[in-house]
């Protein structure tokens, strides 16, 4: 399990997923990161911080945003 902090760049309500800029990644974002179901759409706002967890660190598709905060 690996946890990183990032900044929300964009949110797709249809897929309940977000684009995240991880701390330290100046030029590149990670797209399509699932947002935990218990986080409301209205809370996933561009510019807010998010904590992202990778239950399987070797698989980028396993990422999930489990905390959103300012």
Partner 1 sequence: MITLSATLLAEQKKASTTPYVELKAREKIASVGRFRWTRYYTGAEAITRHAGGMAGDGSLLRARAVQNGAAYDLSYSRVTSPGSGSTYSSWSSIVADISETSGIAIATNSAKVDLVYVDWQKRAIYVKSSTDNGATFGAAVLADTAIADVTHVAFVYKDTTTQILFYAAAGIVYRVVRTSGTWGAAAAWTLTVSTVTGLAAHYYQDYNLLVTGTNAAGKSIVWQAIYGDGYSQSAGTWHALQELVVADAGSLVTYSHVSIGRPDVYRTIFLEAYSGTGSYTTPTTTHTLPSIDFLDALWHEPWPLNITCATGIALSNSATHAWLTTPNGVWRAEIAPADLNLTADLLKLTAYVDFDSGKLVATVRNDAGAYLSTASGKGDAWIGTELKLGLGYRTSAGNEAATHLSFWIDSYELTAEAGKAQLVLNASTPWELLQRWTATKQINYPAGSTTIVNILRDLMARAGIKTTLDNASSQLSTINPGFTIYPAFTIKPKETLKSAIQRLMLLVTDGIRFQNATAYVTDQTAADASAYAFGTTHPIKTARYKSGQPTSAPLPNQVQILAKGAFGQARDWDQIELRTATTTQELVTNLTTATQANTHAAGILRQSTIAAKDDTITTQPHCGLEVHDVVDVTEARAGLSAAKRRVKAIAITYDTQKPKFEQIITLGGV
- 27 vs 42, beta carbon nearer partner 1: 27
One of 7, 48, 49, 62 touching partner 1 (CB under 8 A): 62
Closest CA to 61 of 69, 53, 51: 53
**Phi/psi-derived region of residue 58, left when phi > 0, alpha when psi is between -120 and 50, beta in every other case:** alpha
**Pattern of binders to partner 1 over 7-46, x per CB under 8 A?**
--x-----------xxxxxxxxxx----------------
Residue partners of 47: CB distance under 8 A and separation at least 6: 7, 8
- Does position 51 interact with partner 1 (CB under 8 A)? The reply is no
Which residues contribute to the site for partner 1 (CB under 8 A)?
2, 4, 9, 21-30, 55-62
């Amino acid at each position: 399990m690996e946890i990183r902090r990032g900044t929300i760049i964009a949110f797709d309500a249809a897929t309940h997923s977000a684009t995240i800029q991880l701390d330290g990644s100046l030029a590149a974002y990670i797209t399509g990161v699932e947002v935990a179901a218990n986080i409301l759409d209205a809370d996933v706002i561009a510019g807010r911080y998010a904590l992202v967890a990778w239950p399987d660190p070797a698989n980028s598709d396993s990422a999930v945003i489990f905390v959103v905060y300012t």
